[in-house]
Amino acid sequence: MSIQKYRSHHGEKANQQRAPNHVAIIMDGNGRWATQRNLSRTKGHRKGVESAWEAVSYCLENKIPVLTLFAFGQENWKRPSQEVRNLFRIFYLLLKRDMGRLLEHNVKLRIIGDRTPFAPYLRNTIQESEALTQNNTALTLNIAINYSGKWDILQAMQKLVEKHQGLHALDVLEKQFEAYLSFQGQPEPDLFIRTSGVQRLSNFMLWDLAYSEIFFTKALWPDFDKNEFDNAVSFFNQCERRFGLISEQVSVCSNIES
């Protein structure tokens, strides 16, 4: 379904709810979806790309400003080499073929993760894609590839130490450290979604998810549709986000804001 048709057909219910500022998703279950249908795992990953575009469409329609999709973790290099090659081919073709869709819908693309192992042609394509979309404002789409939460914390600490040589450990401030994390400058995810029924973080955004509401669904990623996203947003709207306060304090703050 095209983005425009998706917008007109699916926007009404979620528009009645409070939208998260940043949704982070572990897109789990492509391989199992394919296996259940006697298809190759690669076909499952390709079907998963369609679900990713539907998630982008949903965020555009419902004015969710930031979407992060976990596409490939550093631990995923342990998978069969052919599957890894196919995954990176799908990613490369996505950048080359679908850039027009991002530009058309004013989507800013950011690739998050360690690019060191990537072939030069892929690193160049990533840089070109980010440059082309850097001024877009409707949605920031983060794709985490060759990413891990532990790596992100470690590389941030390494950059901090390199930048501020001689800095005493007790003098390091939280905001100072956060400036070197991969997602710096963006709101922390207020809603985290994982598909396929698995209930763990899998080394994803370990620092950033500290106060996220967590929604698990049994739907495999290729089956994650508008209704599933609506369910996640409805769950988010039922959560009382206290950030260490008690309910009475939250109620007072809400009344003041309104």
- Residue 18 known to bind ligand: no
- Residue 129 known to bind ligand: no
Euclidean distance between CA atoms 229 and 240, whole angstroms: 19
- Residue 194 known to bind ligand: yes
Strand boundaries in 120-232, DSSP class E: 139-147, 191-194, 213-216
- Residue 98 known to bind ligand: no
- Residue 51 known to bind ligand: no
> How far apart are the two ends of the chain, measured CA to CA in Å?
38
Strand partners, 110: 142
- Residue 73 known to bind ligand: no
Q: For tokens 């982070």, name the residue.
A: 24
- Residue 200 known to bind ligand: yes
- Residue 77 known to bind ligand: yes
Q: Which DSSP string do the residues of 217-253 spell out, in sequence order?
A: -SS-GGG--HHHHHHHHHHHHH----TT--HHHHHHH
Residue 144 near residue 204, CB atoms below 8 Å: yes
Catalytic residues: 28, 76
**Binding residue ranges:** 28-33, 41, 45, 77, 79, 194, 200-202, 213
Query: Could you tell me which residues are annotated as the binding site for substrate?
Result: 29-33, 41, 45, 77, 79, 194, 200-202
Summarize the annotated binding site for Mg(2+) as residue ranges: 28, 213
